[in-house]
Structure 1
């Protein structure tokens, strides 16, 4: 875990009035990963795509009624927290695990946008079906993450041994794995789906079913600005509540004309003035769905069954469909 957040950085990057500054600037500044398929990566035209990217576009839609009013700045694992604390970015939306030490180091995690776990990519030819079979194996992983600590905890608890080889970024880590320098590549399972596709022969590799840790991904904001923290949290909740109410990007205009459910009317800005507490307009949630979609829309578009990644919803399904995604009511 290679990061250190100091009180000085927290003070210099004070988040008081973040929304006002974003509005005055005319665009949001979002810290993302430099290249995690399905989460934040530039496409062939240089346009940023992914679930973390769509979250920032949803924030921009809520604030400006324009999802394009956001600037994306790629952040390395080691530099991401400093960038947030220094004020270089307004929000960190970069496959970042919410932990106690990070949450108490002058930053906040308003909401969990993706439930993940640490997994392992191995060659099919090794016939490995369980993580326990990696006893005495060499494992490649990336520096500046919780991966190495999780690995040490899991193997030590079970009395197993291993050798770890660390690298500065995912490209170097995958290259070492492909070259045969290690028996397994360990990182968040969501990232492994994309890493497997980068190999010369994806069908020759498999992601083990087991997860050895809890990795709740959450956007990060600076402490000291409750309004901004609330806005970041409720952007995600609005997308969850919209999905639960059956409001999609495809039907949002029709729903706004004919919605009968009180919940749907509040989400669509037809009843109440629930945007005022966030410093936004009454139709803030409608803007999000119109421009970006609900949570299910964003999930399926970026990482779902119709994408090359084919990541199952699993824990990221709605609470009433066997998952953990649960949005408090807009009322």
Structure 2
């Protein structure tokens, strides 16, 4: 019996030690967990240029990828210390809440209902809808399109909101919906459509790939903020990620953000003003 009691006592001590270790790890929080692990784990996409996609060599690239490298640099002074978990858009929230990833950066629109499930960081990009035109085409800009009224046809990716969305910018235009982006652009190229309504980020990326063929109509609408997301309940981790993103937008890491912005959107973002913080 004494031997059995000793075994039971030893087993209980091991369990207690394990529970204490787990409790300590949880108390330390995600920031200390990531630092101890030595790498950041980020959920992102792999089929959505310019945010996250595979280049010709199969390497994962894009604006969200560059942002994750900036955050890894803040953690480890080494932007390479990040592991990417490619995921579908409907896995963005579940993978955070179940702890599969430390954070998600995946062209994720901030909404109040989503904020009940995850904690959003400060926004790093404001998305919207824009109108792509052929260079030298019949209509020079949004004002010309609007003046033409029902004589204008706009191609757009098919969804239940497409027609109402286009009519917010061009109330009288005809709307031609397509089930993939390639066909939407093909309609513009063939003259079947006078303009293509698409995400502003996609428009900038497409124009960067085809600088002599297309122009921006100069009008954007339907704004929405993109932000990364982390699990709720860990203020230190959220504060760190917010700090890293804020310094990329307006502080010491602005050079990295500027380079990424120019690479994927073909334009230079406004430089942070020196003086009183905005």
The question of a shared fold, defined as TM-score above 0.5 by the shorter chain, is answered with yes
Aligned with residue 313 of structure 1, among 246, 264, 269: 269
CA contact (8 A) 2:154 2:173 kept: no
Q: Does residue 186 in structure 1 map to residue 197 in structure 2? A: yes
Q: Which runs of 5+ in 1 are unaligned?
A: 1-13, 244-293
* Residue 58 to residue 94, structure 1, CA distance change in 2 (3 Å): same
* Residue 112 to residue 308, structure 1, CA distance change in 2 (3 Å): closer
2-structure distance, mates of 1:241, 1:83: 30
Q: Could you say which residue in structure 2 is the equivalent of 1:174?
A: 182
Question: Larger helix proportion, structure 1 or 2?
Answer: 2
Write the deviation string for residues 19-63 of structure 1: whole angstroms up to 9, x where unpaired.
Answer: 344345442221233255554344454444443223212222233
Q: Could you say which residue in structure 2 is the equivalent of 1:222?
A: 231
Aligned with residue 233 of structure 1, among 229, 242, 257: 242
Q: Does residue 109 in structure 1 map to residue 67 in structure 2? A: no
1-structure distance, mates of 2:244, 2:139: 43
CA contact (8 A) 1:154 1:212 kept: no
TM-score by length of 2: 0.69
Q: Which runs of 5+ in 2 are unaligned?
A: 1-25
Displacement of 1:193: 1.5
1-structure distance, mates of 2:220, 2:92: 25
Aligned with residue 66 of structure 1, among 73, 78, 81: 78
CA contact (8 A) 1:32 1:75 kept: yes
Q: Could you say which residue in structure 1 is the equivalent of 2:217?
A: 208
Write the deviation string for residues 187-244 of structure 1: whole angstroms up to 9, x where unpaired.
Answer: 331221212345xx6522222211112232211222222222111101112334534x
Q: Could you say which residue in structure 2 is the equivalent of 1:303?
A: 261
Question: Larger strand proportion, structure 1 or 2?
Answer: 2
Write the deviation string for residues 238-271 of structure 1: whole angstroms up to 9, x where unpaired.
Answer: 334534xxxxxxxxxxxxxxxxxxxxxxxxxxxx
Q: Does residue 137 in structure 1 map to residue 165 in structure 2? A: no
Q: Could you say which residue in structure 1 is the equivalent of 2:102?
A: 90
CA contact (8 A) 1:51 1:298 kept: no
CA contact (8 A) 1:38 1:302 kept: no
* Residue 159 to residue 127, structure 1, CA distance change in 2 (3 Å): closer
Q: Could you say which residue in structure 2 is the equivalent of 1:242?
A: 251
Larger Rg: 2
Write the deviation string for residues 102-137 of structure 1: whole angstroms up to 9, x where unpaired.
Answer: 323x11222111234321223332425116357563
CA RMSD of aligned residues (A): 3.6
Q: Could you say which residue in structure 1 is the equivalent of 2:18?
A: none
Q: Could you say which residue in structure 1 is the equivalent of 2:139?
A: 127
TM-score by length of 1: 0.60
